[in-house]
């Protein structure tokens, strides 16, 4: 009697499950005793041979019994469920090109700020104000059980690259290894940067009430100039007593510092600004010049210059510089010239550029001439202002660290992806009509408009002209002090519920070799405790410990790690440990520390290691991995189960 369709389908399912079980090592013995190895299943694989008949006969020996089939199906479903719940870091293009597996000459590093965004998403999940969307995706972030950060100050990228054989544990643990631009070396700077990530829900709520949104709080707390100092040659000035206060004093018409409007390196990369970085950017910008050999630190009183360029199409098929205009804060023209491009013009683009063939007969200067004159003209702390200024700087073949882009600081849609034209911004906020000349745009007129827009925003506030920021700040509490807000938050049921679960208490552990930073500015804790010092309750909602040396800090981390949803440890290696004779042993010890913390962590925990903070180089290395339950761990757990 021929088998029915239902019986044939069941037989096919059995064989498929048997084949999949054979591949994954999930068979009956594996489930019951946990003693077999992957690939050693006694169940034959149906993938090894081609079946002779499309419809198997019932008198053929079945691959598995019904009982075995149900067990295998249940085990496979459980495994599938586990795989779906495991967090994973998936690199995007920007993360892939920063990988240490990429040749150094082709590598474009990520920034410490990128790592902060990853940490915030692991802590706050969907409510995180920032995500690492630019360089990676943290899949199943809601399943992250804890986040552990180890900051190792004193060593940097060179030490890992040159002594990779020493980092056996590190290479075994981490698949994601990226070059990372670190902030300029300064005592306590790295930990302060990491500590600016909110560590508790109560702290998050407090910052929202203070600033209107957590995103704005982060922007207010972080130094906008910090990472620029790692990229551009900015002199580290030591201010005289009272001089810094004087420099940061706001001009009479400004209500906040103009430095808050500067683009960060991340924004500059995303917007296509030229930067003196390695990899593809270095290839693209290899012939570009810096506007100064050395820059001064920008302040609230640094001068603003509006810049606009006009371009014409040449026989190379793209637009090249033909006119440049620069105005100062008083809307006075300080530089104006026509530029003869190196290639013949095929289209003057007159309706947009305002350039005609007759005008270009008077052009005598070349791009190198313009570059030289601009380098002489601009002061060392000049702030350049423009609408989509990246286009102008690329046309000029120049790079500048201090930039304000009116297409970014003004937003009429609430979506940063959609930018308004300068003509629209001038009409809506200045009440002026520009770019209406039928003979084309006027670069002086455009430059003046951008400076006016910046000065208007400086006189009104950060949220002025930005629909998204205005909405976020509708409930901002300006009349309450920090202490009042802290007391209000600590009295909420949310805070009380967090206090009940000790797993939610973040831990901050530093060694005595690491200089204490001003943590009070960033976290709710009021002090760092010494051994046998204050209790957690006296310290605030964050458990803080300062140990006598690096070894003790690592030991404390391993002992307390399971009590914390977020743990950050900072150790520092002094110069005596990094001599040629002691360096291999020191790095081997660092590798051992990493292995110890990894072993002590919870499964599905995110582990981030940052090597950086050296006076020699700002090229650091960051490592990140989610701890998964391996097959060996599963077998070990099964062996510990009581025998039936």
Full DSSP string of 402-453 = -EEEHHHH-BSSS-TTS---HHHHIIIII----S--TT---HHHHHHHHHHH
Q: Which residues contact 161 (CB under 8 A, 6 or more apart)?
A: 100, 621
Q: At what angle do helices 550-560 and 583-600 cross, to 10 degrees?
A: 10
Query: How many CB atoms lie under 10 A from the CB of residue 104?
Result: 12
Give the pLDDT score at 510.
74
Give the pLDDT score at 502.
38
Per-residue pLDDT tens for 565-596? 888 898 989 889 999 999 999 999 999 999 99
Beta strands 619-626; 176-181: pairing state: antiparallel
**Structural tokens at position 115:** 């790592």
What distances in angstroms separate CA 560 from CA 148, 418, 553, one per listed residue?
11, 47, 11
Of 605, 574, 634, nearest to 33 by C-alpha is 634
Ranges of the chain with pLDDT below 50? 26-54, 56, 58-62, 475-480, 482, 485-486, 488-503, 516-540, 644
Measured in residues, the chain has a length of: 644
Per-residue pLDDT tens for 90-130? 999 999 999 999 988 888 899 988 998 899 899 888 878 78
For the question of whether the overall pTM of this predicted structure is more than 0.95, the answer is: no
How far is Cα 551 from Cα 610, in angstroms, rounded to an integer? Answer: 17
Give the pLDDT score at 489.
43
Beta strands 543-547; 507-511: pairing state: parallel
HSE-CB for 483 with a 13 A CA cutoff: 1
Average pLDDT, the chain: 78
CB of 253 closer than 8 Å to CB of 79:
no
Give the pLDDT score at 224.
65
**Structural tokens at position 26:** 């999930």
Question: Burial, 204: exposed, middle or buried (Cβ in 10 Å; 0-12, 13-18, 19+)?
Answer: buried
Give the pLDDT score at 182.
86
Query: How many CB atoms lie under 10 A from the CB of residue 39?
Result: 10
Per-residue pLDDT tens for 436-462? 877 778 899 999 999 999 999 999 998
Question: Burial, 175: exposed, middle or buried (Cβ in 10 Å; 0-12, 13-18, 19+)?
Answer: middle
In order, the DSSP letters of 29-52 are HHHHT--PPTT--SSPPTTSS--S
CA of residue 479 relative to chain centroid, distance:
33
Q: With DSSP H G I counted as helix, E B as strand and the rest as coil, what are the percentages for the chain, rounded to 5?
A: 40, 15, 40
CB of 152 closer than 8 Å to CB of 571:
yes
What distances in angstroms separate CA 584 from CA 160, 174, 177, 570, 581, one per listed residue?
11, 20, 20, 21, 7
Question: Burial, 483: exposed, middle or buried (Cβ in 10 Å; 0-12, 13-18, 19+)?
Answer: exposed
3-state secondary structure of 147: strand
CB of 466 closer than 8 Å to CB of 411:
yes
Using the Cα atoms of residue 440, residue 445, residue 450 and residue 456 in order, give the sign of their dihedral: negative
How far is Cα 485 from Cα 483, in angstroms, rounded to an integer? Answer: 5
**Structural tokens at position 534:** 């204050």
How far is Cα 292 from Cα 306, in angstroms, rounded to an integer? Answer: 17
Give the pLDDT score at 31.
42
Report residue 471: phi and psi, to 5°.
-65, -40
What distances in angstroms separate CA 617 from CA 148, 183, 303, 503, 621, one per listed residue?
25, 10, 30, 37, 11
For the chain, how big is the Rg over CA atoms in Å?
30
Give the pLDDT score at 79.
64
Of 144, 108, 101, 111, nearest to 125 by C-alpha is 144
Report residue 572: phi and psi, to 5°.
-135, 135
Query: How many CB atoms lie under 10 A from the CB of residue 259?
Result: 19
* Terminal CA-CA length for the chain: 43
Of 409, 386, 417, nearest to 465 by C-alpha is 409
């Amino acid at each position: 009697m021929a088998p029915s369709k239902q019986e044939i389908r069941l037989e096919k399912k059995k064989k498929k499950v048997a084949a999949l079980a054979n591949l994954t090592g999930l068979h009956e013995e594996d489930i019951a005793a946990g003693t077999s190895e992957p690939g050693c299943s006694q169940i034959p694989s149906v993938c090894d041979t081609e079946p002779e008949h499309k419809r198997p006969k019932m008198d053929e020996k079945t691959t598995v019994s019904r009982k075995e089939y149900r067990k295998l199906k249940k085990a496979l479903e459980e495994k599938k469920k586990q795989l779906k719940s495991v967090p994973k870091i998936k690199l995007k293009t920007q993360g892939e090109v920063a990988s240490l597996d990429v040749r150094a000459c082709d590598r474009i590093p990520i920034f410490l700020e990128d790592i902060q965004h990853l940490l915030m998403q692991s802590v706050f999940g969907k409510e995180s104000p920032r995500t690492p969307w630019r360089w990676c995706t943290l899949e199943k972030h809601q399943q992250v059980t804890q986040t552990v950060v180890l900051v190792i100050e004193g060593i940097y990228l060179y030490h890992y690259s040159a002594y990779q054989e020493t980092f056996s544990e590190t290479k075994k643990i981490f698949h994601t290894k990226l070059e990372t631009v670190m902030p300029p070396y300064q005592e306590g700077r790295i930990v302060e940067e990491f500590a600016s990530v909110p560590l508790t829900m109560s702290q998050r709520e407090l910052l929202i009430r203070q600033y209107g949104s957590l995103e704005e709080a982060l922007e207010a707390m972080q130094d906008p100039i910090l990472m620029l100092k790692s990229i551009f040659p900015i002199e580290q000035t030591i201010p005289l007593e009272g001089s810094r206060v004087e420099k940061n004093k706001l001009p009479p018409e400004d209500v906040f510092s103009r430095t808050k409007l500067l683009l960060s390196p991340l924004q500059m990369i995303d917007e296509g600004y030229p930067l003196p970085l390695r990899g593809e950017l270095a290839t693209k910008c290899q012939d570009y010049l810096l506007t100064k050999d050395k820059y001064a630190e920008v302040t609230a009183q640094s001068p603003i210059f509006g810049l606009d360029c006009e371009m014409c199409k040449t026989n190379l098929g793209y637009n090249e510089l033909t006119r440049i205009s620069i105005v100062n804060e008083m809307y006075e023209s300080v530089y104006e010239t026509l530029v003869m491009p190196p290639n013949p013009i095929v289209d003057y683009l007159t309706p947009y550029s305002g350039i005609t063939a007759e005008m270009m007969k008077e052009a005598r200067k070349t791009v190198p001439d313009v570059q030289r004159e601009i380098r002489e003209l601009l002061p060392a702390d000049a702030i350049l202002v423009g609408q989509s200024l990246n286009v102008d700087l690329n046309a000029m073949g120049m790079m500048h660290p201090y930039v304000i882009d009116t297409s970014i600081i003004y937003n009429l849609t609430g979506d940063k992806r959609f930018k308004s034209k300068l003509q629209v911004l001038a009409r809506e906020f200045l009440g002026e009509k520009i770019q209406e000349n039928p003979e084309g745009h006027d670069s002086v007129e455009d430059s003046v408009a951008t400076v006016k827009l910046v000065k208007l925003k400086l006189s009104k506030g950060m949220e002025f002209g930005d629909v998204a920021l205005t909405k976020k700040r509708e409930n901002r509490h300006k009349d309450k002090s920090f202490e009042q807000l802290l007391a209000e938050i600590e009295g909420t049921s949310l805070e009380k519920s967090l206090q009940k679960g000790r797993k939610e208490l973040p831990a901050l552990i530093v060694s005595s070799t690491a200089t204490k930073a001003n943590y009070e500015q960033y976290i709710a804790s009021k002090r760092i405790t010494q051994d046998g010092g204050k209790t957690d309750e006296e310290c605030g909602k964050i458990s803080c410990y300062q140990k006598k040396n690096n070894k003790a800090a690592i030991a404390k981390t391993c002992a307390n790690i399971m009590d914390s949803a977020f743990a950050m440890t900072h150790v520092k290696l002094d110069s005596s440990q990094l001599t040629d004779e002691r360096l291999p042993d020191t790095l081997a010890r660092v590798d051992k520390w990493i292995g110890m913390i990894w072993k002590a962590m919870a499964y599905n925990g995110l582990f981030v290691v940052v090597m950086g903070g050296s006076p020699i180089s700002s090229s650091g290395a960051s490592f990140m991995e989610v701890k998964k339950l391996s097959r060996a761990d599963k077998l070990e757990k099964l062996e510990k189960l009581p025998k039936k």
